[in-house]
Amino acid sequence: MRTVLITGATSGIGRACAVSFHKAGYAVLATGRNTAALAELKNELGDNCYTMAFDVCDETAVKHAIESIPDEFKNIDVLVNNAGLALGLEPEYEGNTHDWSEMIDTNIKGLLGMTRLIVPNMLERGQGHIINIGSVAGDAAYAGGAVYCATKAAVKAITDGLRIDLVDTPLRVTLIKPGLVETNFSNIRFHGDRDRASAVYRGIEALTAEDIADTVLYAAQAPAHVQIAEMLILATRQANGSIIIRH
Ligand code: 8X3
């Protein structure tokens, strides 16, 4: 049985990935900060699911959690670096520096920390796949998104760099770049302002978390000689991070 570790598995794309990979026969290591949501996921998936509560930004907690993974889940075949968030949509000159730090810490440093801890074991075993969740936001900046877009551009560079560093190994590295996905993403971005969050998805059929989980699973299940380097998945009435048609 293959094992997948998914960060940010308590909601949205991460949770949908946990459900999809489990259905596809993987043992799932689901991680996140929300212990109640992790317990609910464990309850839903049952066997072959192990949950670990930690914040990817907390280096010590992450290290401790990874060291304490039970033997049957220890050999991670697929790492899905999904944990990430957007905070705020203000012009850069009015942005909140705490929001910036949290995005940079989670989206960049958290992803790097997980990669640094998990990849050496994959290399020792001569197999593994790292799938990073980037964003259309990493392709070009959009109004009010400077720092979020920068973190996702960093995820693209970090993913490409890792692929270069691992090119002479059997390991594969994939970047998945979702566009407009209707999850809790905007609610978090707008600090719980539900009206503002729901307006983001009004008048357009947005992607679902399951749509993205399908692409992550597709990349993971491609034959060993096929490396899906990058996928950009947009809503049909979306052309990029800025051009979105709402009726
Ligand atoms: C999420 C997509 O376009 O809201 O990363 O930034 S977008």
Q: Write down the pLDDT at residue 211.
A: 98
Catalytic sites, residue numbers: 148
Q: 78 CB under 6 A from ligand 1?
A: no
Measured by CA distance, the residue closest to atom 2 of ligand 1 is 179
Taking the chain (247 residues) in consecutive chunks of 10 residues, what is each chunk's mean pLDDT? 98 98 98 98 98 97 97 97 98 98 98 98 98 98 98 98 98 98 97 97 97 98 98 98 96
Q: 135 CB under 6 A from ligand 1?
A: yes
Q: Which of the listed residues 107, 136, 184 should we mutate to test ligand 1's pocket, taking the one with most ligand atoms within 8 A of CB?
A: 136
β-bridge pairing 27-32 and 230-233: unpaired
Q: How far apart are CA 86 and CA 188, in angstroms?
A: 7
E strand segments, 49-111: 49-53, 78-81
Taking the alpha carbons at both ends of the chain, their separation in whole angstroms is 46
The model's pTM is 0.98
Q: 153 CB under 6 A from ligand 1?
A: no
Is the CB of residue 4 less than 8 Å from the CB of residue 27? Answer: yes
Q: Write down the pLDDT at residue 122.
A: 98
Q: How far apart are CA 165 and CA 173, in angstroms?
A: 10
Extents of the domains making up the chain: 3-233
Closest CA to 105 of 124, 72, 83: 83
Q: Write down the pLDDT at residue 95.
A: 97
The CATH classification of domain 3-233, taken from the options 3.40.50.720, 3.40.140.10, 3.40.50.2300, 3.30.1280.10:
3.40.50.720
